[in-house]
A and B are shown apart, each in its own frame.
Chain A
């Protein structure tokens, strides 16, 4: 192993009520691809924020090439050769690539020189990018390139990447990995944050596993099975959701030639979507975020209206019905955005149980609300889905993301839907809760309900779905049985590399 680049010794950071990092120590060598692995809330983000100078540790210290390193702000971290690509891009759509990069620099060179340097860097690392293209026209993968090139222009010693593949197709991931391998070969260390185990196994030299803020183990990913790493991450043995194979029943929900415009200016219109879901079947819908997932959920929940016969439930046209009427018929849904869409942040869990439960759970009579029944329903959700909260009187925003997700999914599942549509059901949920949610979805299907699961987590879809279809720019591919589907085929269904060139390395 080569020289030590960054040594982290006993870093501790506490927030009111929670210790985010508790005496975390590990080393990153020069040129190493080091994975930081952990569930949501394990303290990964806090740790990298300390390295990048966004958060100051309570105690502990860092050594950069043997010298004490304590960045007061990201600028200081960048001056010391540390760069970071965030999960959420900070780019201006209306500006071009070079302008966006210049905005992030202390002393930007003249635009012509900058464009030349962008071209140089992008060619060296196999990240083709035209400096004069408008960012608004770029795909997610290309936007990520802008962020990476912005970092590479600083000639970093350590590149931190926070969940970089969540917005990419498998083909785009492969291109990214080639770039990262080349960087590592040239001596740049990479701190790679992810919870996707297979990715870490293909890319990383070394992994540090965090659980509840503590370093609970290190491993060499290539020599460790994904299951062992997952158990290290969760701290207990994982139960894989089980399902009983059985023949699908009659068609429950049918979309025929469905085309609707998006209500939002930056949304994606659905174009001629046709698909059938049978009773007892789970249909998985994959695709890179922003390809019409939100619109598909809205047109099924009734938030967007469609021609009557474009959406059929049990053979009856329901396209023109609103959310309440659809719930009465048994078509329930759980949107991706928990706070503000699936649940009202400042309202209590009882009120949030009323939000979708009023019709099917009989929580109202002639418009008058039965709060007692609503509270009992909320308590049932909390109990059955193991929602960690002091009680149903708590505001939705006081719950952690994973707990609120359990509440939102539980609220719909317990209403005995005939058809359930979920968008990103386990996003931001820890592994054991995710397994419980997936199991609940499978149990629902076994009970005869049809389930549409929209997700960007392909592993999840492979695990629970009977058939898989992909959304790409508002078009839905023909569904194919998941059994025997390869990751390559899935990638192509999702639109391949979106016209991105493969790295020349």
Chain B
């Protein structure tokens, strides 16, 4: 009989090894899935994990890694602070959209004026927009005890409706021949989140993501607030005993994750995406949840997990176009990653023992 035995304390080894084991398990079972679909599993795995980094056209894909990784890391870091404290912001996608709308809105309001101040103002507006959107579930939770998971999630759909309305109405490009979507910010120098080094993929969002990783690391390991966040997640009563004000912590965690998601939205709309359009959001806010857990809610882990996730996005697209793999198969593949991670996570706190069944 296989039994799980609780470890006296969490295993350091397994807490580092489970993400790697999860990636390996995903490759094996993903490969099986691709084989069942009639594709060569080895080639599919190689296309996803190898080609974007070291394949023939890697020079084109490598910058994409930063472009796709930055918003994931930025959002996931914010989410991880809340997740550590047991505060579940599931609506980063909505905060991402609102951040893009407010940030782009500020930029477009200045059009066609050129000034160095415009981009910083947009950054500020993007962060504030995401923060404000996250304050809705936060205040409702603090005041009325509503469930932040449901409220933040439902607000994603509200944000999507707002996005559609904005790209068809208020922010629609007056010179766009009636097509939905705003002016393209890439063609507006003061508002353009351009690459800092051409062809590198390195834009301000990547810089912001790096700074956030360092900031989060210091916060969690060296600061009282980070200690209180971890304490609340581990033992809420002990946190209260230590003097944590739960309401203030909820406002902080949801606020900061909203602000970072908003920032991610702004950097995306002002850079790689270029404009507000109906299908502006591509699910970064949801994928970031996977990234946060894949990275063990640890800042450095999230950085690595964000890059890995970006890799499967890019590799998945290549596999779709070159091998004709269905998009759904790629999504299943990404989902497997979270599934195996959570399943193998058990090993951090439990050990597996084989033992002969006690005779009845």
Q: Is the A/B pair a real complex?
A: yes
Nearest CB of chain A from residue B302's CB, rounded to whole Å: 20
Known: A301-B241, A323-B241. A367 touches B10 (CB 8 A): no
CA distance A368 to B227 in the complex (A): 10
Please tell me if A354 contacts chain B, counting CB pairs below 8 Å.
yes
Name A338-384 residues within 8 Å CB distance of B.
339-347, 351, 354-356, 358, 364, 367-369, 371
* A505 CB, nearest partner CB in chain B, Å: 41
| Residues of A with C-beta under 8 A to B158 | none
Q: Bound complex: CA of A345 vs CA of B239, how far in Å? A: 12
Which residues of chain B have C-beta atoms less than 8 A from A345's C-beta? Answer: 234-235
Is B230 part of the contact surface with A, judged by Cβ < 8 Å? Answer: yes
- Tell me the complex Cα distance, A301–B222, Å: 26
Given contacts A327-B243, A347-B230, contact A341 B223 (CB under 8 A): no
Among B10, B242, B360, the one with the most A-chain Cβ atoms within 10 Å of its Cβ is B242
In the bound complex, CA of A369 to CA of B360 (Å) = 54
Give A368 to B221 CA distance when docked, in angstroms: 9
| Total contacts A-B at CB 8 Å | 76
A340 touches B9 (CB 8 A): no
Cβ of A369 and Cβ of B223 under 8 Å apart? yes
**Minimum Cβ distance to chain A for residue B10 (Å):** 6
Contact partners of B222 in chain A: CB under 8 A: 368-369, 371
| Chain B binding surface, main DSSP class | helix
CB of A303 closer than 8 Å to a CB of B: yes
B241 & A356 in contact (Cβ 8 Å cutoff): yes
Q: Check A395 for interface membership: any CB of B closer than 8 A.
A: yes
Q: Does A292 contact B (CB under 8 A)?
A: no
Please state if A324 and B243 are interface contacts (CB–CB under 8 Å). Answer: yes
Cβ of B46: which chain A residues have Cβ within 8 Å of it? none
Give the shortest distance, in Å, between A304 (CB) and chain B (any CB): 10
- Shortest Cβ distance from residue A369 to the other chain B in the assembled complex, whole angstroms: 6
Asked if B225 and A341 make an inter-chain contact with CB atoms under 8 angstroms apart, the answer reads no
A459 at the interface (CB under 8 A from B): no
Instruction: Contacts A369-B223, A397-B9 given; indicate if A344 touches B243 (C-beta within 8 A).
Output: no
User: B333 CB to closest chain A CB, in angstroms?
Assistant: 32
Q: Is A337 at the interface (CB under 8 A from chain B)? A: yes
Known A395-B10, A398-B8; contact A341-B227, beta-carbon cutoff 8 A: no
Q: Mark B231-243, 1 if CB is under 8 A from A, else 0.
A: 1001101111111
CA distance A335 to B224 in the complex (A): 22
Contact between B241 and A341, CB atoms less than 8 A apart:
yes
B279 beta carbon closer than 8 Å to chain A: no
In the complex, A1 Cα to B235 Cα: how many Å?
54
CA distance A394 to B12 in the complex (A): 12
- Interface assignment of B358: CB less than 8 Å from any CB of chain A: yes
With both chains docked as a complex, state the minimum distance between the C-beta of A329 and any C-beta of chain B, in angstroms.
Answer: 13
A325–B245 alpha-carbon span in the complex (Å): 13
- Assess the B224–A344 pair: CB atoms within 8 A: no
Give the nearest-CB partner of B239 in chain A: A344
B residues near A343, Cβ cutoff 8 Å = 235, 238
Asked if A205 CB lies within 8 Å of chain B CBs, one says no
B8:A395 contact, CB within 8 angstroms: yes
A347 B231 Cβ-Cβ under 8 A: yes
Q: Is the pair A341, B224 in contact by a Cβ cutoff of 8 Å?
A: no
Chain B nearest CB from A422 CB (Å) reads 13
Q: How many angstroms between the C-alpha atoms of A451 and B231 in the bound complex?
A: 28
Chain A residues within 8 Å of B231, by CB:
344, 347, 351, 355
Interface residues on chain A, size class: 35 or more
- With most chain A CB atoms within 10 A of its CB, the pick from B8, B223, B234 is B234
Q: Which residues of A contact B227 (CB under 8 A)?
A: 351, 354, 369
Query: Using Cβ atoms and an 8 Å threshold, which residues of chain A touch B239?
Result: 344
Chain B positions within 8 Å of A324 at CB level:
242-243
Establish whether residues A335 and B243, one from each chain, have CB atoms under 8 Å apart when the complex forms. Answer: no
Tell me whether A340 and B235 are in contact (CB under 8 A). Answer: yes
Q: Taking CB as reference atom, which chain B residue is nearest A326?
A: B243
Of all chain B residues, which has the CB nearest A55? B358
- Chain B residues within 8 Å of A340, by CB: 235, 237-238
Most chain B beta-carbon neighbours within 10 Å: one of A327, A341, A344, A395: A344
Docked Cα-Cα span, A73 to B9, in Å, equals: 30
| A358 to B242 Cα, complex, angstroms | 9
Q: Does A81 contact B (CB under 8 A)?
A: no
Instruction: Please name all residues of chain A whose beta carbon is closer than 8 Å to the beta carbon of B225 when the two chains form the complex.
Output: 367
**Would you call B10 and A356 a contact (CB within 8 A)?**
no
Indicate whether A72 sits within 8 Å of B360 (C-beta atoms), given known contacts A346-B234, A358-B224, A369-B223: yes
Q: Chain B residues near A56 (CB, 8 Å)?
A: 358
> Considering the chains assembled together, what is the distance between the CA atoms of A302 and B237 in angstroms?
12
Residue pair A344, B245 in contact (C-beta under 8 Å): no
Contact partners of B9 in chain A: CB under 8 A: 346, 394-395, 397-398
Q: Is the CB of B224 within 8 A of A323?
A: no
Question: Does A322 sit within 8 A of B, measured CB to CB?
Answer: yes
Closest to B9 in A: A395
What's the least CB distance linking B34 to chain A, in Å? 39
B-side contacts of A356, CB under 8 Å: 241-242
Chain B residues in 8 Å Cβ range of A367 = 223-225
Query: Is B224 a contact of A337 with CB atoms below 8 Å?
Result: no
Distance in angstroms from A334 CB to nearest chain B CB is 10
Asked whether A346 lies within 8 Å of B10 as measured between CB atoms, the reply is yes
Bound Cα distance A327, B223 (Å): 19
Q: Complex: how many Å from CA A322 to CA B241?
A: 9
Contact with A along B208-235 (1 / 0, CB 8 A): 0000000000000011110100110011
Residues from chain A with Cβ under 8 Å of B10 in the complex: 346, 395
Q: Which 8 A-B pairs have the closest CB atoms?
A: A324-B243, A395-B9, A323-B243, A344-B235, A398-B8, A344-B234, A341-B237, A367-B224
User: What are 11 A-B contacts defined by CB distance under 8 Å?
Assistant: A322-B243, A324-B243, A335-B241, A337-B237, A340-B237, A344-B231, A347-B230, A347-B235, A355-B231, A355-B238, A356-B242
Binding site for B on A (CB under 8 A): 56, 72-73, 301-303, 322-325, 327, 335, 337, 339-347, 351, 354-356, 358, 364, 367-369, 371, 394-395, 397-398
Besides A341-B241, A342-B238, A356-B242, 19 other A-B contacts (C-beta < 8 A):
A56-B358, A73-B360, A301-B241, A303-B240, A303-B241, A324-B242, A327-B243, A340-B237, A342-B241, A344-B234, A344-B235, A344-B238, A344-B239, A345-B235, A351-B227, A355-B231, A355-B242, A369-B224, A397-B8
